[in-house]
Amino acid sequence: MLAKIFTLDLNFQGIPQTIASYAIPFDQGLILVESGPGSTLPELERGLVKLGFSLADVKHVLLTHIHLDHAGAAGWLAQQGAQIYVHEVGAPHLRDPKRLIESATRIYGDRMGSLWGEFLPVPFKNLHVLKGDGEFSIDGLVFRHLDTPGHAYHHMVYIFEDVCFSGDVGGVRLPGPPFLRLPTPPPEFDIESWRSSIAKMKTADFKHIAPTHFGIFEDAQQHLSLLEDTLNAVEQWMEATLPQVPEREALRESFAEWEYARCAVAGLDEANVHAYSLAMPLGMGADGILRYWNKFRAA
């Protein structure tokens, strides 16, 4: 790594190392990859102050996608003047987050505020809309972006020097014993496009991989192999299980059992398992797999 990249721990729900924001200093302040949720803005500020910066130094925010744990605070930062980079399909929802908030409220109910905080709109003039694969530069620093669906249709990964910021399409991999969880939420989890995205990442040249959940890992190619194996394992589990278990609650239980067994084999302790469930809840994972099955495979 040539440039300095800082990993900010947003201490989501008081649990360390589950949601990261990455900060890259440049001449005029800071570039962030992911804003984190609105609820962790105070934690983001604390992290920046420790590094000798403040929220006012945040000039650019690169979002991998617009889910609340990645993009919730983007509107607030934009209203302080930051430029927000996002996939073209996600952009309209940042300008007007009404539908995004409504669908999240259907899932989280009255826990919405305490979990995620406020999701403010991003003003049009602060939006930097990205299409397909390409690159852009900020004050001479070059960022490549790859259109990488699978977790969500509107997902970008960013490559800066030899680091890939992989959002959620790179999987959830937390500090601790080697393990990777595939984040498969509804409504856009899609096995085929995820597989193509992994292939695309494998041919892009980088050494380090930094999933938002959590940290910069040095073994990018091994990580991508583990990701591919995990995607295959989820697909096999789905093909073996779904034809017999069409009922949602039973499927959720069965999926959790399967995933806990994988955690045990990997040697995760209770705290590790809890952190993984905070970064990617298993019930939601099962719902996404069921939705994919019904949409593409059931017939």
Positions touching Zn ion (CB under 5 A) are 69, 168
Q: State the DSSP string of 93-129.
A: HHH-THHHHHHHHHHHGGGHHHHH---PPPPGGGEEE
Is the Cβ of residue 43 or residue 168 nearer to Zn ion in the bound state?
Answer: 168
Q: In what order do the strands lie in the sheet with 127-130?
A: 6-9, 20-26, 29-33, 58-62, 83-87, 127-130
Is the Cβ of residue 145 or residue 151 nearer to Zn ion in the bound state?
Answer: 151
**Pairwise CA distance, residues 237 & 56, whole Å:** 47
Q: Are 67 and 183 in contact (CB under 8 A)?
A: no
What minimum distance in Å lies between the beta carbon of 168 and Zn ion? Answer: 4
Is the Cβ of residue 245 or residue 284 nearer to Zn ion in the bound state?
Answer: 284
What minimum distance in Å lies between the beta carbon of 181 and Zn ion? Answer: 11
Nearest to 9 by CA among 212, 202, 230: 212
**Pairwise CA distance, residues 64 & 212, whole Å:** 9
What minimum distance in Å lies between the beta carbon of 11 and Zn ion? Answer: 15
Cβ-proximal residues to 102 (8 Å cutoff; 6+ apart), any chain: none
Is the Cβ of residue 126 or residue 166 nearer to Zn ion in the bound state?
Answer: 166
Report which residue type is found at 171.
G
Is the Cβ of residue 69 or residue 235 nearer to Zn ion in the bound state?
Answer: 69
Is the Cβ of residue 168 or residue 190 nearer to Zn ion in the bound state?
Answer: 168
**Pairwise CA distance, residues 146 & 95, whole Å:** 22
What minimum distance in Å lies between the beta carbon of 69 and Zn ion? Answer: 4
What minimum distance in Å lies between the beta carbon of 152 and Zn ion? Answer: 9
What minimum distance in Å lies between the beta carbon of 67 and Zn ion? Answer: 5
Report which residue type is found at 227.
L
